[in-house]
Structure 1
Amino acid sequence: MQLKKIIAALLLGTAGLPAFAQIDKAATDAFLKRVVKDRAAAFTCEYLPADNGKDVFEIESNGNRIVLRGNNGVSVASALNYYLRNYCNSIITWNGTNLHLPAVLPVVKEKEHHVTPYKYRYYINYCTFQYSMAWWNRERWQQEIDWMAMNGINMPLALTGEEAIWQEVYKEMGFTDAELDKFFSGPAYFSWLWMGNIDAWGGPLPQHWKDSHKALQQKILAAERSMGMLPILPAFTGHVPPAFKDKYPNEIVKPTNWDAGFPDVYILDPNSPMFDKIGKKFLEAQTKAFGTDHFYSADTFNENVPPSSDSSFLDAMSRKVYASMAAADPKAVWVMQGWMFHYNASYWHQPQIRALLNAVPDDHMIVLDLYSESHPEWKNTQAYYGKPWIWNMLHNFGGNTGMWGLMDAAAHDPATALHDPASGKMSGIGLTPEGIEQNPALYQLMIDNVWRDQPINVDTWLQSYAKQRYGVENEAVNKAWQILYHTVYIGGPTEGAPESIIVARPTLDIAAERVKTKLEYDPAKVVPAWDLFISAAAQVKPTAGFKYDLVDVTRQVLGNYASPLQQRVATAYRNKDLAAFKQYSTQFLGLLDDMDMLLGTQEGFLLGKWVSDARSNGITPAEQDLYEFNAKDLVTLWGDKDSPVHEYSNRQWNGLIKGFYKPRWQQFFTLLEASLKKGETADLKAFEEQVKAFEWKWANGHDKYAAKPQGDPVKAAVQLHKKYRKMM
């Protein structure tokens, strides 16, 4: 009973206490034990008042102990992170941790005091919950919450368990389980269900999932709040089950379509009295189950064009959405993604944006400038017409794995915007990638803006980062990172990383639908970075981060090399040169085998781990099979066999290369070789249907893939360097 009371108190917040005004000692003590384990006693946590309303931390030595001070758990965790990185050459990232504390901890000779200029530090895109977090358990969520806290994040999006609340609301309204089965999607597709894009795909959703993830959300929120975070919960946007139009025939329900190969979904007109009723009912049920911090996410037209461009319609819609929140919570603050202003720019002109935003009081809305590093919409909207807004780096689309990004934008643009008189009420910075656990250097660079108000010097930052990640100063890796900075991390106009041709549905063309292969840099200039990492492997003790980076650079170089090799195959075919065709197609398939072997040495590149994690959520064979289908379908077809968005979430993963991508290319090469031998033109239309059938069978199959790394990543990379370097 006592434990239940503690959890309830954490869920319902700290009534009567000002925000950010306390430290939960039990939470910070537990945090220290999780992170530094048996060295936790060497650290002391103390409360430090906020600095003019801003989060603050200090580090100081007191005898043989390190004192960590902050105005909340996030600040204390940030203090620890700062100490570990700057005094112990250690770092904790998604893709590899280097944490080897010396027997005697380094002394802080002079107290350090750091204040963040940003009230809010936001994290998580709707899509991240599916492309990366779909199968996470309590332990993995705790790791992420610790990482958030250490990097200063205080405003995470929190969507887990939403389906359980909607089930409660709709069943109270008389909907049957059968009717809701045609609404709830499978777990890999929740984001697009909640954003009003699709219904039911990947379902029906088992009851055990709803119950278990409601309980998981309670634990997630308790952990986040115990560190002083302000989770953002969902609110009603008008998307209703398909059965709604029949159950309530007098209500105005409008069909809309995402134009991605899925049936229409249904949006309740905001002028309907039911709109306010449902919105209020949902927030009341959600607050009862999860508590509230008064921040709510709602995106009424995510990637869907509104039925009218009339400003009065948009004004009314916005007022209704906010009113449904305020009816249940007068302190409600609507946190709106600004993605649609970029995605549907031909619709969202200044009158439409102004109407949508101005309908809500300024202090009850925050706009997420979702793609600030590439498309800063705040510059096109007079900083969102006076609304508080947050600068975000989006970077990743679909969870793709390529090395890519805009390092200069991440290092310079947040501080530049902060000091720009035209930036209005810029109130924070954040990370909004569709997928995580890739490009760790770029994300660390971006989030290092949290505790500073001046641009970061990338050259010196990279040297420090490499030393923290690998535990030593090494000239070779420093040079390698400079090469990567000026090649893969110069970015470009594409949305997300360029891809290797290996992940494309087989073609003779240099690119394919949903697979962008054009590079904004000369791939030959990346190869010396590979050479330097290979040479460093004999000079440094390989940390987890070094092993990951070595494999990632090797993967990138080989993935780049696949494109010219594929074009040699295509040229040989067009020239009707059978011998050359067989030579290059064999080399191409061998490259796929080698990449699959390499990626099998790292947990972060395993299809088997992704599928195993998915199946672990099921308690019956049928549930496990359903979740496996969801996991495999998302990263390949993204729908049925005729899906127009296939390959959107492609991954260069062990198992996926050998089990999915390679068989497609084998079938393609077999067809082309036969046509050369017969002197006939290959029937590529027939092949497309053949490969679709293979893909659908694979997505529904149960082939086994390694869920744990196999082999030595350093030896594998050195072996492939010896084999392929002379070809480049």
Structure 2
Amino acid sequence: MPVRVEPPIETGRGPLHRPAGDGRRPTCARRGALDRLPARPHIHQHPVNHFAEVTVRSLRPWAAVCAAVAFALLTTTLTPAPSPAADSAPRGPGFSTHSARAALTRLLPRHVTQFTLVPVRRPASGDWFGVSGRAGHVRVRGTSPAAILSGVNWYLKYTAKVDLGWPGRSTAKLPRVLPAPEGTVRRHASVPHRFALNDTDDGYSGAYRDWTSYEKQIDLLALHGVNEVFVQMGADAVYYETLQEFGYSKKELRSWIPGPAHQPWWLMQNMSGFAGPVSERLIEERAALGRRIANRLRELGMTPVLPGYYGTVPPAFTARNPGGTVVPQGQWVGFERPDWLDPRTGVFSRVAASFYRHQRELFGDSTMYKMDLLHEGGRPGNVPVGDAARAVMNALQTARPGAVWTLIGWQNNPSTQIIDAVDKSRLLIVDGLSDRYDGLDREIAWHGAPYAFGTIPNFGGHTTVGANTAVWAERFDRWRTEPGSALAGIAYLPEGTGGNPVAYELFTELAWRTEPVDHSGWFAAYAERRYGRPDPHAARAWELLRTGPYSTPSGTWSEAQDSLFTARPRLTATSAASWSPGAMRYDPDTVRAALAELLKVAPALRTTDAYRFDLVDVARQALANRSRSLLPEIKAAYDAGDLSRFRAGAAEWKDDLDLLDRLLATDSRFLLGPWLADARSWGRTATERDAAEFDARSLLTTWGHRSGSDAGGLRDYANREWSGLVSDFYAMRWTTYLDSLDTALVTGRPPAAIDWFSLENAWNQRHDDYPVEPSGDPVARAAAVLDALPAPVPPAPAASGARR
């Protein structure tokens, strides 16, 4: 597969020219700037160059890095754009390994020269990697750059015994000379499709991230064996260019396109316009960043899965385009949905052709396209769903012959009307419910269509820990090996990424095992490498976490409960998000005990990034779990009219919120400041910066406007325990509420009504500065959390005497 050269001056998310202002952001002329995005440069496939296999151990580390970079540049040759087929993953042995080596330079700069990377031909049986060598000279073979990186990661985990997680790493504990592999290891992918990222990821993980953040994400996806990644960054540019050809002005379209944090739901045909209008410059820069993401994936032999066209149009489409027919889609949790253009019409065919043409110009081609007809309550009207699906597939195949239509398995989608109307060999269903419900038979439900075993262990970017990992360990291999199985992949689909590193690690490893996972043994090995050395207290902590939050059962949920500290205040609250579990899904004492064990880990291991993240995360979860036992105590005191007991409970609640915020402040991954600073960094003017900040703030709190937040139930859907958000938003709400109850107890009158949306939306409009760097000692703060938690209640003694 050809690799793409990235523009040499492109250092962040914008792309094309040096800015005239701060030197960080590029500028484009206002007129037709999207039409002038530079043509995508391409590189020849190189035959295997044995010089690239030489490990230059004689060079100093910095010189070796420079030599590797220089070699990559010297072997770069520009050519005309290849055919669409050339964009598929590399299949011959002649692909360049320079993208894999560049990733290793970023991930393991002190050890990169000790790896020899060897490209091999991909057989019909699929991807594989092999690891061999001796101390200080590790040879990794693989069928793509990403497969090679997967081999490196396998070596790190099972030979070097360190972790490079998402998030958290212990690679600082690697010895100067890497240990020798234990013989020759060869691992084959058990499934061809290894898919990652939910449609919502760009919203809940951060729509305003820069190139450095995406580059790190891609490195970690490749390192963990993923080969198909959903890319929606910049999709607004495709709609923007396409619909100008069908009677819409630029101004109309910029008002129709939502702010970036809310664009995922616009692409799913759920809403439009909120937190807009967007500027043309913002559309341009998002397109350039999206192109850069897609190109990097191609360099690594991974497939960028791009949004396809299935009929979303702005208002008044038929008035401007005679011959078209639209079906009004009604509302989605309080938002007006965009209209759906009947795919059977000639107008649809022309819009789709224009869409795919502009997408090719902006992002290149792919072999996979993501589309979900009638998502979450979409209305077909009088359009036969099967006929619509056939027309959508025909438009895709006309534009991209042989492409695969990817759909999510969610609620009742995809319907058999869609599946049976098209060539099933051109479908892939990424199942979001594989581990959530019992009694599923996907072969029967989806009539034999290929699907990927998937999980959504996180909703809304919640910071809660836990996942149905024991279900994965048992169910994946059983489903895969059943006679007549149509299981063809895995799909890691959290709505927000960057948390639950052990879940990501285990789930992605399923695809590289041909035997069932020993759940207990796997966690024991994880505990050994997570902090870079074996430690009995780490082992005990992870065994407790395994049997607690990481052994939740299937049947109802795929994520653990969220925190009541983040709920809109009420004494009867059982969850913060409307669609989250309403009760504990595991014994909370397992987390408290795990925290106590982590605080006993050897001091030499406490310096690792992985330990510091895990300690803060587990302490945060232990305190969050306390909210579920404390709130009923406060309610009981209020209901009894016991002012003294109520005030004691309310004081503990406020103290816990303060302690929680100070704990979270010790780790940059639990700070609100970077989220808001990223949003403001995309604005050129004060108006643009303020609009981006509102977009980013509102997603976390009210989610949208009043009707969506209140009647629609979207408020706090994206709740998370972050320093700054806890102290300034959640604590503000709870203090207001608890003080009103205190006044009610004193006066004997009902508590005053509170307009929560007005209070919350006022916070959304603010522009406070928040720290972007951590402060404080995580070990001391975590110890303070343990001290603040009530001691666990010992079990009652066994009854004596004769049994009745």
Q: Report deviation, 1:267.
A: 0.8
Structure 2 vs 1, CA of residues 434 and 220 (structure 1 numbering), >3 Å: closer, same or farther?
same
Alignment of structure 1 residues 514-529 onto 2, 5 Å: 514=578, 516-529=581-594
* Structure 1 residue identity aligned to 2:275: G
Structure 1 SS opposite 2:344: coil
Question: In 2, are the aligned partners of 1:24 and 1:227 still within 8 Å (CA)?
Answer: no
Q: CA offset at residue 672 of structure 1?
A: 1.1
1:103 to 151, 161, 176: 176
Give CA-to-partner distance per residue, 1:144-179, whole Å, 9 cap, x none.
111111111111111111111111111122311232
- Alpha-carbon distance, 1:727 to partner: 7.7
Residue 709 (structure 2) pairs with residue 646 (structure 1): no
1:375 correspondence with 2:437: yes
Task: Report the 3-state secondary structure (helix = DSSP H, G, I; strand = E; otherwise coil) of the residue aligned with 1:232.
Answer: strand
Q: Pick from 112, 119, 122: which aligns with 1:40?
A: 112
Work out the CA distance in 2 between the residues paired with 1:173 and 1:68.
52
AA matched with 1:290? F
Secondary structure of 2:549's partner? Answer: coil
**CA–CA distance in structure 2, aligned partners of residues 553 and 38 of structure 1:** 30
Counterpart position of 1:562: 627
- 2:138 aligned partner: 66
1:90 corresponds in structure 2 to 162
Task: Tell me whether 1:623 sits opposite 2:688 in the alignment.
Answer: yes
Return the alpha-carbon distance in structure 1 between the equivalents of residues 328 and 116 of structure 2. Answer: 58
Alpha carbons 2:258, 2:266 under 8 Å: kept: yes
- Of the three residues 504, 509, 513, the one matched with 2:572 is 509
CA deviation map 1:499-529 (0-9, x unaligned): 2211111111142562644012232343222
Counterparts of residues 163-242 of structure 1 (less than 5 Å): 163-242=236-315
Paired position in structure 1 for 2:42 = 9
Deviations 1:12-64 (A, max 9, x none): 57856984324323212212211211422211111222244310111111674
Counterparts of 1:266-277 in structure 2, within 5 Å, are 266-277=339-350
Give the match for residue 75 of structure 2: none
Counterpart AA for 1:675 = A
- Asked if 2 retains the 8 angstrom alpha-carbon contact of 1:551 and 1:599, the reply is yes
1:658 aligns with 2:719: no
* Inter-partner Cα distance in structure 1 for 2:792 and 2:98: 58
1:444-480 deviation per Cα after TM superposition (whole angstroms, max 9, x unaligned):
1111112112111121111211122101111112111
Distance in 2 (alpha carbons) for counterparts of 1:484 and 1:2: 44
Aligned to 2:495: 434
- In structure 1, the residue matched to 2:512 is 451
What is the alpha-carbon distance in structure 2 between the residues aligned to residue 460 and residue 272 of structure 1?
A: 57
Q: Which residue of 2 aligns with 1:345?
A: none
Describe the superposition over 1:383-432 as per-residue Cα deviations: whole angstroms up to 9, x where unpaired.
62232221112211111111121111122222111101142x32111201
Tell me how far apart the structure 1 counterparts of residues 40 and 475 of structure 2 sit (CA, whole Å).
40
Cα 1:720–1:336 shift into 2, 3 Å: closer
Secondary structure (helix, strand or coil) at the match of 1:182 reads helix
Equivalent in the alignment of 2:90: 20
Distance 1:560 1:541, change over 3 A: closer
Match of 1:603 in 2: 668
Q: Is the 8 A contact 1:56 1:71 kept in 2?
A: yes
Name the CA distance, whole Å, in 2 between partners of 1:17 and 1:552.
40
Matched, 1:496 2:559: yes
Distance 1:640 1:175 in 2: 26
Alignment-derived partner of residue 117 in structure 1: 190
- With over 3 angstroms needed to count, the CA separation of the structure-2 counterparts of 1:232 and 1:138, relative to structure 1, is same
Indicate conservation of the 8 Å contact 1:396/1:496, yes or no: yes
CA distance in 1, matches of 2:5, 2:430: 39
Q: Rate the CA distance shift 1:267–1:43 in 2: closer, same or farther, 3 A.
A: same
- SS of residue in 2 equivalent to 1:341: coil
Q: Secondary structure at the match of 2:354?
A: helix
> Does 291-300 or 239-248 show the bigger shift?
239-248
Judge conservation of contact 1:369–1:378 (CA < 8 Å) in 2.
no
Distance (Å, rounded) in 2 between the aligned partners of 1:186 and 1:376: 38
Higher mean C-alpha deviation, range 14-23 or range 273-282: 14-23
User: Contact (CA 8 Å) 1:277, 1:324: kept in 2 or not?
Assistant: no
CA contact (8 A) 1:671 1:682 kept: yes
Partner of 2:59: none
Does 2:417 match 1:355?
yes
SS of the residue 2:178 aligns to? coil
**RMSD of the TM alignment (CA)?**
2.3
Q: Is 1:247 aligned to residue 310 of structure 2?
A: no
Match of 1:324 in 2: 395
* Conserved 8 A contact 1:27-1:227: yes
Q: State which drifts further: 166-175 or 117-126.
A: 166-175
User: Residue 307 of structure 1: CA displacement?
Assistant: 3.0
CA distance in 1 between counterparts of 2:146 and 2:276 reads: 37
Q: 1:526 aligns to what SS in structure 2?
A: helix
Q: How far apart, in 1, do the equivalents of 2:638 and 2:282 lie?
A: 50
The amino acid that maps onto 1:255 is P
Native 8 Å contact 2:89 2:144 kept in 1 = no
Which residue of structure 2 aligns with residue 293 of structure 1?
366
Q: Are residues 1:670 and 2:739 paired?
A: yes
Q: Distance in 1 between the 2:760 and 2:434 partners? A: 36
Shift of residue 641, structure 1, vs aligned partner: 3.4
CA-CA distance at 1:2 after TM superposition: 8.3
Shift in alpha-carbon separation, 1:329–1:496, aligned structure 2, 3 A: same
Query: In the alignment, is residue 154 of structure 1 matched against residue 217 of structure 2?
Result: no
Q: Which residue of 2 aligns with 1:591?
A: 656
Comparing both structures, which one devotes a greater share of its residues to helix?
A: 1
Verify: 1:53 aligned to 2:125, yes or no: yes
The alpha-carbon distance between structure 1 residues 405 and 495, as it changes in their structure 2 partners (threshold 3 A), is closer
Task: Identify if the C-alpha distance between structure 1 residues 110 and 703 changes in structure 2 by more than 3 Å, giving closer, same or farther.
Answer: same
**Contact persistence 2:254–2:279 (CA under 8 A):** no
Question: Does the Cα contact within 8 Å between 1:396 and 1:434 map onto a contact in 2?
Answer: yes
The residue identity in structure 1 corresponding to 2:412 is F
- 1:280-317 Cα offsets, whole Å, 9 max, x none, are 11011111221112211111111024335x8x811101
CA distance in 2, matches of 1:298, 1:340: 15
Amino acid at match of 2:515: Q
Residue 601 of structure 2 is matched in structure 1 by: 536
Question: Do the aligned partners of 2:194 and 2:225 also contact (CA within 8 Å) in 1?
Answer: yes
1:130 to partner: Cα distance: 0.8
Q: Aligned equivalents of 2:558 and 2:227: distance in 1?
A: 27
Preserved CA contact (<8 Å) 2:157 2:529? yes
Contact 2:454 2:490 in 1 (8 A): yes
Residue of 283, 305, 315 corresponding to 2:386: 315
- Secondary structure at 2:550 match in 1: coil
For 2:699 and 2:100, the matched residues in 1 are separated by 37
Q: CA offsets per residue over residues 620-645 of structure 1, 9 Å max, x none?
A: 22111111111110011111234131
Change (3 A) 1:19 1:640: closer
- Cα deviation for residue 238 of structure 1 reads 0.9
Residues of 1 paired with 2:195 and 2:666: CA distance? 33
2:83 & 2:536 partners in 1: Cα distance? Answer: 50
Q: Kindly tell me: are residues 488 and 379 of structure 1, through their superposed partners in 2, closer, same or farther at Cα, counting changes over 3 Å? A: same
Distance 1:268 1:136, change over 3 A: same
AA at the equivalent of 1:326:
Q
* Distance (Å, rounded) in 2 between the aligned partners of 1:524 and 1:220: 42
Q: What is the Cα deviation at residue 660 of structure 1?
A: 0.5
| Structure 1 unaligned blocks of 5 or more | 343-347
Deviation at 1:251, TM superposition (A): 2.6
Distance change (3 Å), C-alpha of 1:577 and 1:64: closer
Which residues of 2 match residues 566-577 of structure 1 at below 5 A? 566-577=631-642
Query: Residue 563 and residue 78 in structure 1: after superposition, are their counterparts in 2 closer, same or farther (change >3 A)?
Result: same
TM-score where L is the length of structure 1: 0.93
Q: Decide whether the 8 Å contact of 1:467 with 1:473 is kept in 2.
A: yes
Equivalent position to 1:467, from 528, 546, 563: 528
Counterpart of 1:58 in 2: which secondary structure?
strand
Q: Which amino acid aligns with 2:665?
A: G
Contact 2:169 2:531 in 1 (8 A): no
TM-score by length of 2: 0.85
Task: Tell me the SS of whatever aligns to 1:535.
Answer: coil
Q: Secondary structure in 1 aligned to 2:161? A: coil
Higher alpha-carbon deviation: 708-717 or 35-44: 35-44
Structure 1 position 354, deviation (Å): 2.5
1-side partners of 2:102 and 2:658: how far apart? 44
